């Protein structure tokens, strides 16, 4: 199976100018080769901001592609069935570190290897999913950054209702193949019901299920809460187009969803997460063991509002909320 890759010239352009090579000596360099990072994400088109943040921080730390590190990019295109082949390829390439996004991908990496260090740059509930033993002492070969934070779903719903006004019927779109997103959907549903909202769940399992899910909705909701997932992210334009056609305001966890036409997002800052992921990668490449690196939780959250989408929906976002937004897309 072939996978699209970020070409060397594209990556060099992304990194920018030359910087002095990393002065330390890594395990891989001692063996006469550059250390290799195997980087798995959904698509370059939807995750370019994260790629740039990760690469830029590596550059600041002295890791220069082609000089002191090699990076093998692979894109799953939102299809989890590709994980097995991609991780098998990373093992054949003898990568020194695997970087993943999402709990499902991290769990697949864990099943693929217990020897290669794994950095889950963005992961849901790492303890509840069985990915690590505890946040403070992960154990095994995995560490990373969790996007789970107390009351995050509740805060997101609060902001959503403030932006949209008095909606009473809310749909939740969730990939039922992803156990972590199913848990989040249940949590959101419980909170919504406690707030007096009527809730309907739209379950999908693959990209082909998205359009039929919306067809079955048909005016049963006034707003749509979308649970982040690689399948959703890869098909985000389709999701937002269908939501707009039914005049449904949407809320997500991260900026790229709002940038692609969603009404708003509230959640951990992805650039901040990926810059921190690069710092953890730096530690691992220098010899630190994932088992000894605590899993971190987010400290910076971004509220992003897409005013273009708001206008298309005929919504007037309260000025007080716009003033609190970290970014307003126009």
So what's the architecture of 8-148+269-299 in CATH?
3-Layer(aba) Sandwich (3.40)
DSSP state of 117: -
3-state secondary structure (DSSP) of residue 291: helix
CATH topology for 152-268+302-329 is Rossmann fold (3.40.50)
152-268+302-329 has the same fold as 8-148+269-299? yes
Report domain extents, the chain: 8-148+269-299, 152-268+302-329
Given a contact cutoff of 8 angstroms between Cβ atoms, the answer to whether 260 and 236 are in contact is yes
**Would you place residue 14 in the very low, low, confident or very high pLDDT band (cuts 50, 70, 90)?**
very low
For 52-71, how does the pLDDT look when each residue is reduced to its tens digit (9 = 90+)?
999 999 999 999 988 999 99
And the tokens for 187?
């949590």
**Would you place residue 150 in the very low, low, confident or very high pLDDT band (cuts 50, 70, 90)?**
low
Using the predicted structure, report yes or no on whether residue 19 has a pLDDT greater than 70. no
Q: What is the pTM of this model?
A: 0.78
Q: How far apart, in whole angstroms, are the C-alpha atoms of residue 296 and residue 54?
A: 16
For 306-317, how does the pLDDT look when each residue is reduced to its tens digit (9 = 90+)?
999 999 999 999
**Would you place residue 24 in the very low, low, confident or very high pLDDT band (cuts 50, 70, 90)?**
very low
Nearest CA to 267 out of 153, 158, 171 is that of 153
Nearest CA to 301 out of 283, 320, 324 is that of 324
Mean pLDDT of 198-203: 96
Using the predicted structure, report yes or no on whether residue 3 has a pLDDT greater than 60. no
Query: What pLDDT is attached to residue 76?
Result: 93
* Mean per-residue pLDDT of the chain: 88
Q: Considering the chain, what percentage of its residues have pLDDT values greater than 70?
A: 90
């Amino acid at each position: 199976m072939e996978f699209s890759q970020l070409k060397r010239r594209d990556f060099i352009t992304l990194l920018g100018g030359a910087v002095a090579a990393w002065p330390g000596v890594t395990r891989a360099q001692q063996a006469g080769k550059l250390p290799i990072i195997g980087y798995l994400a959904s698509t370059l088109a939807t995750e370019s901001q994260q790629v740039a943040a990760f690469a830029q921080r590596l550059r600041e730390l002295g890791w220069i592609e082609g000089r002191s590190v090699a990076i093998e990019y692979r894109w799953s295109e939102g299809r989890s069935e590709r994980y097995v082949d991609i991780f098998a390829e990373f093992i054949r390439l003898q990568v020194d570190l695997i970087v993943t996004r999402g709990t499902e991908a991290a769990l697949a990496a864990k099943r693929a290897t217990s020897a290669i260090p794994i950095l889950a740059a963005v992961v849901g509930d790492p303890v509840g999913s069985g990915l690590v033993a505890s946040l403070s002492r992960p154990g095994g070969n995995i560490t990373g950054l969790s996007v789970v934070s107390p009351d995050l779903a509740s805060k997101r719903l609060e902001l959503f209702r403030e932006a949209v006004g008095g909606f009473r019927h809310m749909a939740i779109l969730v990939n039922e193949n992803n156990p972590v997103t199913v848990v989040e959907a249940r949590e959101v549903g419980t909170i919504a019901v406690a707030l007096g909202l009527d809730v309907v769940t739209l379950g999908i399992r693959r990209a082909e299920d998205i359009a039929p899910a919306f067809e079955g909705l048909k005016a049963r909701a006034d707003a749509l809460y979308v649970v982040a997932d690689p399948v959703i992210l890869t098909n985000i334009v389709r999701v937002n187009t269908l939501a707009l056609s039914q005049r449904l305001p949407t809320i997500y966890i991260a900026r790229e969803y709002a940038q692609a036409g969603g009404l708003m997002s509230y959640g951990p800052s992805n650039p901040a997460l990926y810059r921190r992921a690069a710092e953890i990668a730096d530690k691992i490449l220098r010899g630190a063991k994932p088992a000894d690196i605590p899993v971190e939780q987010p400290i910076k959250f971004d509220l992003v509002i897409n005013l273009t989408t708001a206008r298309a929906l005929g919504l007037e976002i309260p000025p007080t909320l716009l003033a609190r937004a970290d970014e307003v897309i126009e």
